[in-house]
């Protein structure tokens, strides 16, 4: 899905910052509402190009929608000039937005089976709309498992959502941390280590994985060891995207362009390239 609200994939539309939530020190969640017209529809897993006027633009995954208000929700980590500018905005400020772009999670293909979401750190953001979709259509899916890993208890993303997701056993959500404090009572260790302890039918499971690539490599290996077929595993790839429509070549990944052929890609399609760090 390529067009913006006015149908021009190159020209950003103006959005206003409706809400700013400081998740923790370097991460902020922004609610953006269109200044005019309607927000375009999106699929969970897609991304927008957000433009900080006078600085530049960056590809940011859509992590939710502003229900009833027609806006997008984006979670941003300060890692460079553009993301730092976007993470420093205040309510009422204007940002540019192009999108949505890319391919999303295969939620319709996953119906009538089990789903395993595996997220590391900020990788939970692109999965969040997929989790919400599953909850809104809960009867279409069987067991739903979320395995989430974060650095420590103080970098827990969307902490308030976990209680709602778990309520009524809707989602079996397990959190692990790399470094625990005295108050932590949960799991400690890497998120791929949670896969063997999860309950799902590997032959009837769709796995959706997002996070740092090293974490995704180990998570995929754990899922394969558990018996999940390669074609039933989907990963969300992150590359430096500039044009978002497959023209500039900055996000080329072998024969694919992440902005056009991803960011969500079926693992068996990229398996031969997945462990080659130079690509």
33-77, pLDDT tens digit by residue?
Answer: 999 878 899 999 999 999 999 999 999 999 999 877 789 999 999
Which CATH superfamily does the domain covering 13-101 fall into? Translation factors (2.40.30.10)
Tell me the average pLDDT across 249-276: 92
Among 104, 35, 102, 29, residue whose Cα is nearest residue 70: 35
Question: Does pLDDT of 216 surpass 60?
Answer: yes
Mean pLDDT taken over the chain: 92
Task: Please say whether the beta carbons of 98 and 21 come within 8 A.
Answer: no
Residues in contact with 128: Cβ distance below 8 Å, sequence separation at least 6, in sequence order: 63, 64, 158, 161
Beta bridge partners of 28: 22, 76
Q: What confidence score (pLDDT) does residue 45 get?
A: 97
Tell whether the model's pLDDT for residue 217 goes beyond 90: yes
* Cα–Cα dist 187/193, whole Å: 10
**Domain ranges across the chain:** 13-101, 114-274
Q: What angle do CA 33, 67, 176 make, to 5 degrees?
A: 105
Between CA 216 and CA 237 the distance in angstroms is: 9
pLDDT over threshold 90, residue 193: yes
The span from the CA of 177 to the CA of 187, in Å, is: 7
Pick the CATH number of 114-274 from 3.50.50.60, 3.30.43.10, 3.40.50.80, 3.40.50.280: 3.40.50.80
Identify the pLDDT of residue 2: 42
Question: Which pLDDT value is given to residue 171?
Answer: 93
Q: What is the pLDDT of residue 1?
A: 42
Q: Is the pLDDT of residue 3 over 50?
A: no
pLDDT band for 278, please (50, 70, 90 cuts): low
CA-to-CA distance for 166 and 102, rounded, in angstroms?
Answer: 30
The C-alpha atoms of residue 75 and residue 29 are separated, in whole angstroms, by 4
Which three-class secondary structure state does DSSP give residue 144?
Answer: strand
In the numeric block, the tokens 């910052």 are attached to 17
> Percent of the chain having pLDDT more than 90?
79
């Amino acid at each position: 899905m390529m067009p913006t609200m006015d149908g021009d994939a190159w020209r950003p539309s103006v959005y206003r910052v409706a809400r700013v939530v400081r998740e923790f020190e370097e991460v902020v969640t922004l609610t953006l509402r269109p200044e005019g017209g309607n927000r375009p529809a999106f699929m969970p897993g897609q991304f927008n190009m957000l433009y900080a006027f006078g600085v530049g633009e960056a590809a940011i995954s859509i992590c939710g929608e502003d229900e009833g208000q027609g806006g997008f929700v984006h979670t941003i980590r300060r890692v460079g000039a553009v993301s730092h500018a976007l993470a420093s905005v205040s309510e009422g400020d204007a940002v540019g937005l192009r999108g949505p772009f890319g391919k999303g999670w295969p939620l319709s293909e996953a119906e009538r089976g089990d789903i395993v979401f595996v997220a590391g750190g900020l990788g939970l953001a692109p999965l969040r709309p997929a989790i919400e979709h599953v909850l809104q259509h809960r009867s279409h899916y069987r067991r739903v498992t979320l395995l989430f890993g974060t650095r420590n208890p103080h970098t827990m993303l969307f902490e308030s959502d976990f209680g709602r997701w778990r309520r009524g056993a809707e989602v079996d959500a397990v959190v692990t941390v790399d470094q625990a404090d005295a108050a932590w009572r949960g799991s400690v260790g890497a998120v791929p280590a949670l896969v063997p302890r999860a309950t799902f039918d590997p032959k009837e499971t769709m796995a959706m994985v997002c996070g740092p690539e090293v974490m995704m490599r180990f998570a995929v290996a754990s899922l394969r060891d558990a018996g999940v077929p390669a074609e039933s595993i989907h990963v969300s790839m992150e590359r430096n995207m500039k044009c978002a429509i497959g023209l500039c070549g900055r996000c080329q990944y072998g024969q694919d362009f992440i902005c056009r052929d991803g960011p969500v890609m079926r693992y068996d399609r990229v398996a031969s390239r997945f462990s080659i760090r130079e690509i």
